[in-house]
Amino acid sequence: MKNSTSAKHRKLFTAAKVSGGIPLISPLLGDALIQASLDPKISRIEMIAVGPTRTRPRPLEIVAFHACDGRRLALDLADEESPRDVDVYGLFLVTAEELGLELLQRSRSDIRREPLFANCGMVWSHVNHRVAIGDRIRIMQMLAEEGPLRIGDIIKNGTYRADPSAALMALACHDVVELDLSEAALGPDTQARIRMRND
């Protein structure tokens, strides 16, 4: 949820799942968007800009997640360290309901939960890594033919032009590969699978 008046002056978050770009109003929002970008249950992320009306005197921007099960979720991000404007939040709740969006409530403590927070940070640090085409095809073929595999097995059983672990992280950022990041620290036992498209 954001007030849109100064969105054009903000840095934009872009990713494979994002339609257009989303203005970053805080590092916490950036962390939430990174986690959604790496979440296998989320297929698409968009910012819905809603103009003012007679009953809504100011424009709003709502970050919406499209879940793979068909639900559309409005990100309700609460920062315990920064109280939100009650009037703006009330407009957000009314607008989300009008748009038929379910609320996805996330707090700072939710976003910073480990090991997910550290895992997503490590993966996302490779978002700009260039993957050699041969390594990309080799990893995708291995996962398509053999099903979910441990990262350690993918590294051990293939011949690669460059660092295969960096390639796997980048492919996860690009929404090509899914990684299990929520339950255990990222490592050789982390499961990887080819990204299945439902949208």
Read off the pLDDT of residues 56-80 as tens digits, 9 standing for 90 and up: 778 889 999 999 999 999 999 998 8
197 has pLDDT over 70: no
> Is the full-model pTM beyond 0.85?
yes
- Residue 10 tokens, joined: 């903000």
The answer to whether 150 touches 188, Cβ cutoff 8 Å, is: yes
pLDDT tier, 98 (very low <50, low <70, confident <90, very high otherwise): very high
- Residue 104's SS3 state is strand
pLDDT tens-digit readout, 7-43:
455 799 999 999 889 999 899 999 999 999 999 999 9
Domain range annotation of the chain: 2-111, 116-194
pLDDT per residue as tens digits for the range 133-161: 999 999 999 999 998 999 999 999 999 99
pLDDT-based confidence at 198, cuts 50/70/90? low
Report the DSSP pairing between strands 149-150 and 177-179. Answer: unpaired
CATH number of 116-194: 1.10.10
Alpha-carbon dihedral sign for residues 136, 142, 148, 151? negative
- Among 59, 66, 64, smallest CA distance to 74 is for 64
User: What does the pLDDT look like over 74-96, one tens digit per residue?
Assistant: 999 998 878 888 888 999 999 99
Exposure string over 82-107, b if 16+ CB within 10 A, otherwise e: eeeeeeeeebbeebbeeeebeebebe
Helix axes 116-124, 164-173, angle to 10 degrees: 100
Tell me which fold the domain 2-111 belongs to. Trna Endonuclease; Chain: A, domain 1 (3.40.1350)
In the chain, the percentage of residues whose pLDDT exceeds 90 is 79
pLDDT for the residue 165: 97
Residue 6 pLDDT more than 50? no
